[in-house]
Amino acid sequence: MDKKKKIAIIAGIVIILGLLALFVYKENKKMIIQGEVDTKTVDLSSKITGRVKKINVKKGDIVKAGDVLVVLDTPDIEAKTQQAQAAAAYAQYQNLEVNNGTREEQKAMALNAVHKAQSDLVLASKTYNRINNLNREGVVSNQKTDEARMAYQNAKQGVLIAQNNYRMLVNGSRYEDKLMAGANVRRAVGAEKEAKSYLDENVIRAPISGQITELPIEEGELVGAGYTIITIVDVTDNWVVFNLREDLLSKIKMGTVFNVKIPAVGKKPIKVKVDYISAMGNFATWRATKVRGDFDLKTFEVHARPVKPDSELRAGMSAVTDWNKIKR
């Protein structure tokens, strides 16, 4: 083999080794960080216990905020609501009676009683005067005179009683009675509102727009208060969750923008922006291997939201990124 061929072979080997070394260097420098897509999820439950009367949706349906999803049958709460409504109406009628005062017919009767008492007083006064004069002449005994005097005193008291009764009817109820009647109305109305609030819970509406992902009930089943009956996912509100070692946090901050790859979607990288960094470390995921000069590293949760909403993302999808490509 001549000298030129040896040189060419050696040069080729050097180039190949150089390219291999460069490839190995780049691969060693590359650091892949994996995260997971999460989405806004709402679990719906009822405040009351009831039997499922009607289900208007099925798993996978897209619903809008305010749509009626499930209707419960609650006859016991309906009965209590009717009782509360009747109690509120009764309290309002009592309040009207107290504030409107006495009927005009009762006032007229009381005024007539005053006039009668005054007439009786006039008659009792004249009778007493006559008998007293006759007693001075010795014609009538002292006992008759005392009886006439007592009748006169009773007639005066009768006038005062009749006048007070008439005045009480004209003035109406006391201020304290009106306050109590008003308080009874407010209490009854509050009880009515409470009963209606429970009755309104028999209709389950969608609080957000999204997709039904869980529907673990059937018509006719009895569901308890607080039991999750529907799960809705807002596919337009999603983000990527990374659990990063604390030694990687120095490279990111709130507002950092970088690209992630979603293998399940298979599109070009998605640009995301950091909008949450946990204030506290969760647990140690990187244990120290040296007895001295090393320490355990904590993990911090970081959320990065797509700059442009992407409805194709689903909870649980993997998201990967080359950490070394993130600009500080």
CATH number of the domain that residue 60 is part of: 2.40.50.100
CB 314 within 8 A of CB 328: no
Please tell me the pTM assigned to this model.
0.57
Residue 101 domain boundaries: 80-197
pLDDT, position 261: 92
Does residue 119 belong to any structural domain of this protein? yes
Same domain membership, residue 129 and residue 68? no
CB 185 within 8 A of CB 88: yes
Same domain membership, residue 252 and residue 188? no
Same domain membership, residue 248 and residue 310? yes
Tally the domains of the chain: 3
| Cα-based distances in Å from 241 to 153, 277, 317, 319 | 98, 10, 10, 9
Same domain membership, residue 151 and residue 180? yes
pLDDT, position 22: 44
pLDDT, position 19: 52
pLDDT, position 1: 52
pLDDT, position 232: 95
Does residue 299 belong to any structural domain of this protein? yes
pLDDT, position 10: 59
CATH number of the domain to which 307 belongs: 2.40.30.170
**Six-digit token string for 195:** 């009963």
Among 211, 229, 247, the domain boundary falls at: 229
Amino acid identity of residue 180, one-letter, is M
Does residue 167 belong to any structural domain of this protein? yes
The residues of the chain scoring below 70 in pLDDT are 1-30, 101-102, 171-173, 281-296, 328
Same domain membership, residue 157 and residue 121? yes
pLDDT, position 74: 87
Q: Where are the beta strands (DSSP E) in 246-296?
A: 257-260, 270-277, 284-286
Does residue 14 belong to any structural domain of this protein? no
Same domain membership, residue 70 and residue 205? yes
pLDDT, position 27: 45
